Chain A
Amino acid sequence: MFPYSKYLRTNRLPHIWCTGCGCGIILKAMLRAVDRSGIDRNTLIFVSGIGCSSRTPGYIDFDTLHTTHGRALAFATGIKLAKPEMKVIVLTGDGDACAIGGNHFIHAARRNLDLTVILYNNRIYGMTGGQPSPTTPYGEKGTTAPYGSIEPSFDVCRLAAAAGAVFVARSTCYHATQLDKLILKAMNIKGFSLVEILSPCPTYYAHLNRLGTSLDLLMGYKRNSIPVEKARRLDPSELKDKIVTGVIYKTERPEYFEEYHKLQQGITENGRLR
């Protein structure tokens, strides 16, 4: 068995997550990825916002920063620019990154600063008791959408790719063994990388929408997932309500601090670029 306790603040356990929550699956996958990366753990910094996902840093034994709602990427930007030799990983949720932090999310992707974002998407605000988020599917219920949401939802991966991310991947908590591989790939990218992970919220999302247990949600992920290679051969109409998994998008673009560093190096005493 993988020695998780090596990376855990075991004295902070038990955690606050509900039985059947996907946060633990993601946490474990992330620790496996960190271990396999071989990165010196003293050079890793984890930053989170607010919400269920964002409680993860409290349980892992690294330098960890639990910030304000939606702002994790902006705090992470300051850390990374002050210490570019650090690997900064941002842990966030669908409400944190796509609603209150939506502006920071698209601008961090646009700058292409070297940050790895792991976005736990449970399609609901769990910490506050089950309100609809920007990723709640149309028609589904939350405590402030008692008749079903009348808003369309974000495709987080398309949003990130359009904004400028250089690596975008998606998977689910059912595909636990795929998660650490995708997270590791994202960590090895120089630039803004995103891994979106569908994560079950049995307490609110499944309960309010009569979708059964956490296991039912996980089996739903299994049924509805299509690997991206296969999805590319299908007509878009066949992908309705499907979860496309794998590396969705990958490109190369100059990384922000590399550009800034050139500026620092290229400036002469009289202020002109060489």
Chain B
Amino acid sequence: MNRNQLNIRLMSGNEACAEAALIAGMRFFAGYPITPSTEIAEILSRRLPKVKGVFIQMEDEIASMASVIGASLAGVKSMTATSGPGFSLMQENIGFAIMAEIPCVVVNVQRGGPSTGLPTNPAQGDVMQARWGTHGDHPAIVVAPGTVNQVFEWTIKAFNLSEYYRIPVIMLLDEIVSHINEKVILPDPSSLAIINRKHTTKMPGEYIPYQNNANMVPEFIEFGLGYHYHVTGLSHDESGFPTNTPGIVNKLIRRLNDKIEKHRHQIIKLKTEFVDDADTFIIAYGSTARSAHFVARMNRAKGIKIGFIQPLVLWPFPGKEIADIVKNAKSIIVPEMNLGQLSHEIECACARPVISVNRVDGNMITPEDILERL
């Protein structure tokens, strides 16, 4: 394609997220203002009414998450965007969406924590909260792009994963990825694969809302079409009604988890560079992957055998896949803007210690921070 024909734009991560969500078919956004995610709501408040979509600012993040689930159950692709304190409030209804299998996308632009923490500074302290924030044994899909281009691409993928597996997908951005402005080559929307939830072809009366099937994802039908079915956050049987029969509850909880775990190979994605002959590896995600990639490139130029691994999907955790790549490594370096949340997972998966490079002072991890430990 001629360079003049390319749709090239300078945009921030938050802008790319909003634009990609619209392309993915998102037509309902509910949110509550919170730094550093607010631009996503601001952009969508302008854009959604023009495409017959709905934007609503709710009274808090609890209500935002609830109305997103309501809209999705009524058949509309839905999302919300927030940051740490709001993400904490959303946990209750994220659990509901997991239990009731309602697709939606939740963007968490990470800032310093705990509590109100550092509203305007980046952090990556919500890696474990994104996995385990809501109570009970549950599955999770969490994606963590590191560039504006990746935000664009993975926002669409987040919707696709959410729709396909009927699960809320968490996008872990951070203040840097959200606010940095970069060149983005916008793809032709018609060239993009957009996945929509599988609607049942069964008639009312025949439809069993939570019936298991080959891929462990029940068929969907939106409310309002005469199917008269029941949705609850209580443990339920295949018909959707509450039960505390141990065998049925056991089957439900295992199916919900297996639905993601047994398809992990289709969900996880590692970006790798210089890994084939590497003896030292840097593993980084989100904006930290930018510094990590810079260090890897710089050292390769000097002839040092260093490899770069960026997990774009953090959960399900690509432990086996990472362990396979780094099995002959002399050293593994894991920089992250927290006290070692993913380092610990990598150590477990690889059964060996890693060098954890950490910052929790509201500043990014610089290439120098990594070089010091090389």
Contacts and interface: CB of A to CB of B under 8 A. Distances in A.
B230 interface: yes
A76 interface: yes
Contacts, number: 135
B73 interface: yes
A159 to B, nearest CB: 15
Contacts of B230: 9, 57-58, 64-66
Interface in A230-274: 260, 263-264, 267, 269, 271
B67 A81 contact: yes
Contact of B241 (A41, A47, A58, A61): A58
B106 to A, nearest CB: 14
A66 B223 CA distance: 13
Contact of A86 (B74, B96, B227): B74
Given A58-B230, A58-B232, A68-B93, A79 B58 contact: no
B350 interface: no
Interface stretch (B49-57, B307-315, B355-363): B49-57
A47 to B, nearest CB: 8
B46 A271 contact: yes
Interface residues of B, number: 44
Interface string B231-253: 11110000001100000000000
A85 B224 CA distance: 9
B224 A83 contact: yes
Interface string B97-117: 000000000000000000000
A229 to B, nearest CB: 35
Contacts of B56: 77, 81
A79 B70 contact: yes
Interface in B67-90: 67-76, 78
B63 A104 contact: yes
B231 A65 contact: yes
A264 B54 CA distance: 9
A75 interface: yes
A82 B75 contact: yes
B54 A75 contact: no
Given A78-B66, A82-B74, A68 B54 contact: no
A79 B93 contact: no
Contacts of B71: 78-79, 81-82
B228 A83 contact: no
Contacts of A41: 228
B96 A68 contact: yes
B228 A62 contact: yes
Contacts of B78: 78, 82
Given A74-B70, A264-B52, A64 B231 contact: yes
Chain A: number of interface residues, binned into ranges: 35 or more
State the majority secondary structure of interface residues on B: mixed
Given A66-B234, A67-B66, A82-B71, A77 B229 contact: no
Contact of A63 (B28, B69, B229, B241): B229
A156 to B, nearest CB: 18
A20 B16 CA distance: 58
A128 interface: no
A28 interface: no
B148 interface: no
A43 interface: yes
B189 interface: no
A12 interface: yes
B67 A78 contact: yes
A90 B92 CA distance: 20
B171 to A, nearest CB: 19
A61 B67 contact: no
A42 interface: yes
Nearest to B204: A42
Contacts of A76: 70
A65 B67 contact: no
Contacts of A67: 66, 96, 233
Nearest to B93: A68
Interface string A34-61: 0000000111010100000000011001
23 contacts: A45-B224, A57-B230, A63-B223, A63-B224, A63-B227, A64-B228, A67-B233, A74-B62, A77-B63, A78-B71, A78-B73, A78-B78, A79-B73, A82-B74, A83-B75, A83-B224, A103-B60, A104-B59, A104-B63, A260-B49, A263-B49, A267-B49, A271-B50
Q: Which 4 A-B pairs have the closest CB atoms?
A: A78-B70, A78-B67, A74-B66, A82-B74
Interface of B: 28, 30, 46, 49-50, 52, 54, 56, 58-60, 62-64, 66-76, 78, 92-93, 96, 222-234, 241-242
Given A45-B224, A107-B58, 10 more contacts: A58-B230, A64-B231, A75-B66, A75-B67, A76-B70, A78-B74, A79-B73, A82-B75, A85-B224, A104-B62
